[in-house]
């Protein structure tokens, strides 16, 4: 699947089939995260792959918006260590993983709002690490994702040369 | 170019040909950003496309690590407005743009450390917006990017089920 198609078609999906993610697929997803760029190439991240149903269920109770974690066959936690730009670096790595997964037919849905201390306790993560997210992954239940993406129009968010300039002076 | 290949081959490059980015390529890059996911689909971003050489040069002087901005034919600034997760949402949008650009042969290199007030003044951006980054884009001078990516080994950054567990209990 070409990159733009992956970007264009990817949906955040919360319902997954009761089907294991093959080892090779998991390793490919993690590799996409490993290859991500980061501030001064510091690679300040740890990725924890979680497939234990008990842990996934416990994780789902550490956030008000993560019920789907309990149904997922896999979740990947991203934590950073001594990062200069923890959210930026962590998000770039996870966005790589999400797109690489989607190319392989695996959906995901970013979750925020975690009780960070509770997550770190469940994952035995050292206190000084910073939790960026725990993202569930799984084969989507919906086979045909028909819904159009709901997004603002380009005109609402794109400016040329300076904020508020909507006409592109370089357009021919 | 398939998604994993884009992720695998992409380099952060700082030297660009003196060659304009065609309008269609720019719009495709911006579209990849527009389609990014965000917290509660809030899409809290503004993208400012900058091609004016004088502004690019002035921008390069607002950061100690952005000299290459002055040589780029294009830069895209990402600013967020009322975002719950500004860095995460902004980074996911920019990572989409960076990968979509790479697929079209256009390189980039993330810059941080901006004098935010100076950038906002140059771009006439309202005070309450938050600057995430200004990323230069251009066709790479190096035609063959041979360098191997320097990254930590998977074993250093990947854990299974809990931090520190290096053996995958689910591997067959």
What is the pLDDT, as a whole number, of residue A146?
Answer: 63
Structure confidence by residue, pLDDT tens digits, A27-54: 999 999 999 999 999 999 999 999 999 9
Average per-residue pLDDT for chain A = 95
Max distance between CA atoms of chain A, in angstroms, equals 59
- Is A164 part of a structural domain of the chain? no
Those of residues 105-124 in A touching chain B at CB distance below 8 A are 110, 112, 122-124
Q: Which of B10, B36, B103 sits opposite A2 (nearest CB)?
A: B103
B168 domain residue, yes or no: no
**pLDDT grade, residue B142 (50/70/90)?**
confident
Exposure string of A73-108, with b = 16+ CB inside 10 Å and e = fewer, is bbbbbbbbbebebbbbbbbbbbbbbbbbbbbbebbb
A37, A124, A152 ranked by CB distance to B163: nearest: A124
The pLDDT tens digits of the residues spanning A39-95 come to: 999 999 999 999 999 999 999 999 999 999 999 999 999 999 999 999 999 999 999
Mean pLDDT across B21-49: 97
Q: For residue B72, count other CB atoms closer than 10 A to its CB.
A: 28
Which alpha helices (DSSP H) does B38-135 contain, by range?
Answer: 53-60, 86-103, 116-122
The CA distance from B116 to the nearest CA of chain A, in Å, is 14
A97 lies in a domain?
Answer: yes
Q: A96 vs B95: CB contact, 8 Å cut-off?
A: yes
Tell me if A32 and B7 make a contact (CB, 8 A cut-off): yes
pTM of the predicted model, to two decimals?
Answer: 0.96
Q: What is the mean pLDDT of residues B100-126?
A: 97
Task: Give me the mean pLDDT over the B14-36 stretch.
Answer: 97
Is A172 within the bounds of a domain? no
Quote the domain boundaries for residue B87: 3-144
pLDDT the model gives residue A142: 76
pLDDT tens-digit readout, B75-99? 999 999 999 999 999 999 999 999 9
Q: Identify which of A3, A30, A48 has the shortest CB distance to residue B99.
A: A3
- Identify the pLDDT of residue B88: 98
Residues from chain A contacting residue B126 (CB–CB below 8 Å): 163
Give pLDDT, residue B172. Answer: 74
> Quick one: pLDDT at residue B106?
97
Q: Residue A163: which of B39, B91, B126 has the nearest Cβ?
A: B126
Residue B41, min C-alpha distance to chain A (Å): 8
Q: Quote the mean pLDDT of chain B.
A: 95
Contacts of B63 (CB under 8 A, 6+ apart): B69, B111, B112, B113, B114, B115, B134
Q: Domain holding B56: CATH number?
A: 3.40.109.10
**Is the pLDDT confidence value at A123 over 90?**
yes
On the question of pLDDT at B150 being above 80, the answer is yes
**Helices (H), ranges, chain B:** 3-9, 23-34, 53-60, 86-103, 116-122, 154-157
pLDDT band per the 50, 70, 90 thresholds, residue A145: low
Residue in chain B closest to A133 (alpha carbons) equals B88
Q: Give how far B43 is from chain A: nearest CA, Å.
A: 7
B156: in domain: no
Q: Classify residue A166: in a domain, yes or no.
A: no
Let me know if residue A116 belongs to a domain.
yes
Q: Which residues of A touch B97 (CB under 8 A)?
A: none
Domain count, chain B: 1
Q: Is A128 on the interface with B (CB under 8 A)?
A: no
- At A144, is the pLDDT very low, low, confident or very high (cuts 50, 70, 90)? low
Confidence tier at B145 by pLDDT (50, 70, 90): low
Note which residues in 42-71 of chain B have CB less than 8 A from chain A. Answer: 43, 45-52, 55
Q: Does A10 contact chain B (CB < 8 Å)?
A: yes
Asked if the Cβ–Cβ distance from B49 to A168 is below 8 Å, we say: yes
In a domain, B114, yes or no: yes
């Amino acid at each position: 699947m070409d990159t733009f198609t992956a970007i264009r078609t990817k949906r955040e999906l919360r319902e997954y089939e009761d089907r294991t993610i093959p080892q090779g697929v998991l390793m490919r997803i993690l590799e996409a995260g490993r290859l991500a760029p980061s501030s001064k190439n510091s690679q300040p991240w740890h990725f924890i792959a979680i497939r234990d149903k008990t842990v996934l269920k416990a994780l789902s109770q550490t956030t008000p918006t993560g019920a789907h974690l309990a149904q997922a066959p896999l979740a990947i936690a991203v934590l950073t260590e001594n990062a200069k730009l923890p959210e930026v670096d962590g998000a770039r790595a996870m966005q790589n993983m999400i797109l690489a997964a989607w190319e392989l037919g695996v959906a995901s849905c970013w979750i925020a709002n975690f009780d960070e201390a509770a997550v770190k306790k469940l994952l035995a993560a050292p206190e000084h690490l910073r939790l960026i997210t725990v993202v569930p992954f799984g084969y989507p239940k919906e086979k045909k994702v028909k819904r159009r993406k709901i997004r603002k129009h380009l005109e609402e968010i794109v400016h040329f040369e300076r904020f508020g300039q909507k006409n592109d002076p370089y357009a021919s």
